[in-house]
Amino acid sequence: MKKDIESLVLKISQLIENGDFDQALVDTEKALVENKNNPDLLNKKGVVLRALGRYDEALECFNKSLQIDPRDLDAS
């Protein structure tokens, strides 16, 4: 399962790099249904929301990611 999450995080990262924020958000939200406390997915969702100008929601995702893993250096 961990490998599946890693693959999904990589796919979402590629969508973000390509500027496909809407699809990245859809994929991230789908993944979070089954993995709601995954700090990497929460961080990616925060990145996407920030790119979409949804700053308050992005901050919530970053904060939740840090609550789960305070050592997460990627939490933007």
Q: Which domains does the chain have, with CATH numbers?
A: 2-68 (1.25.40.10)
- Region 5-18 average pLDDT: 93
Q: How would residue 50 be classed by pLDDT, with cut points 50, 70 and 90?
A: very high
DSSP code, position 25: H
Mean pLDDT of the chain: 91
pLDDT at 1 over 60: no
Angstrom CA distances, 1 to 57, 58, 62, 70, stand at 27, 26, 23, 23
Q: What is the pLDDT of residue 73?
A: 61
Percentage with pLDDT > 70 across the chain: 89
pLDDT at 76 over 80: no
